Structure 1
Amino acid sequence: MASPAGTTARHGDICVGLMSGTSADAIDAAVVGITGAGATARLELLGFGTMPLPPEVRRELFLVFDQAERAVERLCSLNVVLGELFADAARTACRQAGVPLAQVFVIGSHGQTVWHQPERDSTVPISTPSTLQIGEPAVIAERTGVPVMANFRAADIAAGGQGAPLVPYFDWVTLRHPERSRAVQNIGGIANVTYLPAGGDIEDVRAFDTGPGNALIDGVVTLLTGGTATFDADGRLAAQGSIDEGLLARLLADPYLNRPPPKTTGRERYGLPLCRRLLEETGLPEGALADPAAPFSLRQRALDLVATVTAFTARSIAEVYRRWLPPIDEVIVSGGGSRNPALLSMLRAALDPVPVVTLEAYGIDSKAKEAMAFALPAHDGLLGLPTNVPGTTGARRQVILGTLTPPTGIVPRSQGKEGQV
């Protein structure tokens, strides 16, 4: 695992972060140079790529999400198949960045979440807080020859936390400010916020899932278009619709929004079953936007539903800020939702007069953020540093996140570092 002369001098330890989010549409891979560690870490994005999941793999994943027939058998195979795809994404990103795999210190793979249950389910006889991500790290290590840190959420849950959110560690390292209190809002499938108080230490950081992000928008668009579109590109559909304020009020009565942090949620709450109920409630058939012969009034009601669930994401974020966060000087938005102009406009209106900017304003590619956010705890965890934030997850203490899968059974050391797991 030794690096060629000059590599670490320029970029520190070269790490790869891999991520597939709630939308389960692609694998993001970031090649990151990391100098220092913990609070002093400095990150440089050396390369980034997105590899769409093959349609047949995505279909199988959604059958597992819906607990279809033979779900456990499907899950078992998907674990290995996704391991191969994550390995491909890592190799491709390194090749495109001009970084040989022999130079890579560690790969941090979040995997694909298939179930996240932060609390006991009283309807299940044997139930406990738990989480499950797939994308077999042994396959990634075997195909790349690089040590892999994965299964990041389990240690936090073992320490009494909810196993999420995990990105606040990255937010605190890269975006804390001595004089400005910031809300770092990620809008992926699920939306989550990290509150960084001005001049605060990591013990002062708070974070939680605010509620739906793109999951409801994507799900409604998928159903209304009969699968010909899986997201609202550039917010064009929402921009053509009008918000149904009555339906929006019912959505904003969601008990999750009134629960105090720490809290996490997922597709189990804001997935396709809820999308189907919304279509039923509004009298819309699946494929309403795919039928060119559909009446104008039907098409307009479909566009109104897209606009309404988009407004639900925006206003639910603003609502939980008002309920659960101290005053904020600035909101920094990342994730797929930051590239939806309709959603961003609604969010700015809901949060006015607080300024809302995208992550790019601070020199970080929002598309790469979540993948970068798993390169960092892989790097620091391999050096023996705790990387959860108990104030955000509810864990009893700080712990090292991730389990190590070394391809040769030997834990590498970065040049000049003596840290051990």
Structure 2
Amino acid sequence: MLQKLINVTSKPERIGIGIMSGTSVDGVDVAIISVKGSGDKLSYQQLAFDTVDIPQDMREKIFEQFSPVESSVDKLCSLNFELGQLFAAAARSVVKKAGLRTEDIDFIGSHGQTIYHIPVDQSDVGLVKSTMQIGEASVLAEIFQCPVVSDFRVRDMAAGGEGAPLVPYVDHLLFQSDTENIALQNIGGIGNVTYLPKAGSASDVIAFDTGPGNMIMDEAMNILTNGQFLFDNNGELAAKGTVHQVILDELMNHPYLGLPIPKSTGRELFGAAYTRKLVDKMLGMGLSSEDILATVTMYTSMTIVDQLERFLPSDGGVDTLVVSGGGAYNATLLGFLKELGGFVVKTQEDLGFSSESKEAVAFALLANETLFGVPNNVPTATGAAKQVVLGKLTI
């Protein structure tokens, strides 16, 4: 088995797959890349990318396990393997579309599906800092017969970090500039930023979760349409509404926004229960669906700008904000960011990359580093005591 790992790492060029299922649970992102080298000598090319829809019955199973009240150990046990099978099927589908064979794949990096994330000890209720991602990696290893790196977050937590965000390592490798301060803002279910000061080193990187990304907007759309639509396409409905300033002011007092960095968050704070309460309140005040969506869309934008202003160096600031994730395709959201921030707003596409594929590509690259034993967390982003090699290896 070890010989298989040696064979992969001895290749001058490898084909890897990155698999990502985010907090929005809207699909499985699969990226296929060719990669050379590791560390500072790493280079890659994206060969294929696609998002494979998660069936509605599977989405319901996942959301059930998000809830401490509804979750059960037997269903969670089963779901771990069901998701492993789903990830494998999604990967095989993209491999086939790319004109490749399963035996062409040298390695896989699978983030898994986050079920619960406890970034700090909760001693008042007897919980320790921990995180859980599922989607059994052994299923992928068996089908593809190649090394699989998974469960990236737990080693960083073991080293004292919060296990998130993890993409900053890749951000620094690919986007560091000698001439401008760049903030890379991913807007998935949760928003997270990586700040790269010009001419900075990896130890100068600042990264943290800014708060809600698409999560509240998507859930609000789901509630307002009784499940008919899962997101506000391009922010079209939000664009027709009016932001309710009183509600917005209340939302901006959320305790998470005042927490010091490094910090991370998730569905536990900004998920379905939070959004249901918020939407019910605004409906009770007589707000239209358009006004509600405008307000929560502005909320995501304001949290991003607020967090950048609070926690990034005041003497440097942000020259360019590069947006990725599903939020990069929401014109209303981007418009609010341009209106609020004193910086240039671009998307990954403006730089020749893909907003959709960024995180899947990142986990393929993180897996590549793990295979070579290269430490690939950023302690200034996660709060870890030291750099460590992330992930569990299944051969």
| TM norm structure 1 | 0.89
**2:169 matched residue in structure 1:** 169
| Kept after mapping to 2: 8 A contact 1:109/1:149 | yes
State how far apart, in whole Å, the 1-side matches of 2:291 and 2:378 are.
Answer: 39
Amino-acid identity (%): 44
Structure number with bigger Rg: 1
**1:59 matched residue in structure 2:** 60
| Kept after mapping to 1: 8 A contact 2:9/2:371 | no
Query: Following superposition of structure 1 onto structure 2, how do residues 15-94 of structure 1 map, counting pairs within 5 Å?
Result: 15-69=16-70, 71-94=72-95
State how far apart, in whole Å, the 2-side matches of 1:22 and 1:11 are.
Answer: 35
**1:417 matched residue in structure 2:** none
Q: 1:69 to 1:317 in 2, by over 3 A?
A: closer
Where 2:35 maps in the other structure, the secondary structure is: strand
State how far apart, in whole Å, the 2-side matches of 1:119 and 1:78 are.
Answer: 26
- 1:305 matched to 2:295? The reply is no
Could you tell me which of 307, 312, 337 is aligned with 1:325? 312
1:134-167 per-position Cα deviation (integer Å, ceiling 9, x unaligned): 1000111112212100000000000000000001
| Greater alpha carbon shift after TM alignment, 91-100 vs 395-404 | 91-100
**1:356 matched residue in structure 2:** 345
Cα RMSD of the aligned pairs, angstroms, is 2.0
**2:185 matched residue in structure 1:** 185
- 1:393 matched to 2:394? The reply is no
Q: 1:97 to 1:299 in 2, by over 3 A?
A: farther
The runs of 4+ residues in structure 1 deviating greater than 6 Å are 7-11
Could you tell me which of 326, 335, 338 is aligned with 1:336? 326
**How much does 1:102 deviate?**
2.0
Query: What amino acid is aligned across from residue 46 of structure 2 in structure 1?
Result: L
Q: 1:252 to 1:11 in 2, by over 3 A?
A: farther
| Kept after mapping to 1: 8 A contact 2:18/2:30 | yes
**How much does 1:98 deviate?**
2.1
**1:253 matched residue in structure 2:** 253
Query: Following superposition of structure 1 onto structure 2, how do residues 206-355 of structure 1 map, counting pairs within 5 Å?
Result: 206-284=206-284, 301-326=288-313, 327-352=317-342, 354-355=343-344
Q: 1:9 to 1:76 in 2, by over 3 A?
A: closer
Q: 1:52 to 1:2 in 2, by over 3 A?
A: farther
**How much does 1:123 deviate?**
3.6
Q: 1:140 to 1:9 in 2, by over 3 A?
A: closer
Where 1:283 maps in the other structure, the secondary structure is: helix
Could you tell me which of 366, 383, 389 is aligned with 2:372? 383
Q: 1:75 to 1:10 in 2, by over 3 A?
A: closer
State how far apart, in whole Å, the 2-side matches of 1:176 and 1:36 are.
Answer: 18
Query: What amino acid is aligned across from residue 269 of structure 2 in structure 1?
Result: R
State how far apart, in whole Å, the 2-side matches of 1:351 and 1:118 are.
Answer: 29
Structure 2 unaligned residues grouped into runs of 5+: none
| Kept after mapping to 2: 8 A contact 1:11/1:33 | no
| Kept after mapping to 2: 8 A contact 1:8/1:14 | no
State how far apart, in whole Å, the 1-side matches of 2:340 and 2:202 are.
Answer: 28
1:114-134 per-position Cα deviation (integer Å, ceiling 9, x unaligned): 001011113422x11100001
| TM norm structure 2 | 0.95
**How much does 1:2 deviate?**
11
| Greater alpha carbon shift after TM alignment, 10-19 vs 327-336 | 10-19
**How much does 1:404 deviate?**
0.4
State how far apart, in whole Å, the 2-side matches of 1:236 and 1:71 are.
Answer: 38
State how far apart, in whole Å, the 1-side matches of 2:361 and 2:229 are.
Answer: 28
Where 2:268 maps in the other structure, the secondary structure is: helix
Count of residues in correspondence between the two structures:
388
1:329-385 per-position Cα deviation (integer Å, ceiling 9, x unaligned): 111000000000011100111113x10000111111111100000000101111110
Query: What amino acid is aligned across from residue 335 of structure 2 in structure 1?
Result: S
State how far apart, in whole Å, the 1-side matches of 2:138 and 2:11 are.
Answer: 30
**How much does 1:317 deviate?**
0.4
Structure 1 unaligned residues grouped into runs of 5+: 285-297, 407-421
Where 1:386 maps in the other structure, the secondary structure is: coil
State how far apart, in whole Å, the 1-side matches of 2:67 and 2:368 are.
Answer: 35
State how far apart, in whole Å, the 1-side matches of 2:321 and 2:82 are.
Answer: 38
| Kept after mapping to 2: 8 A contact 1:101/1:146 | no
**2:392 matched residue in structure 1:** 403
| Kept after mapping to 1: 8 A contact 2:243/2:298 | yes
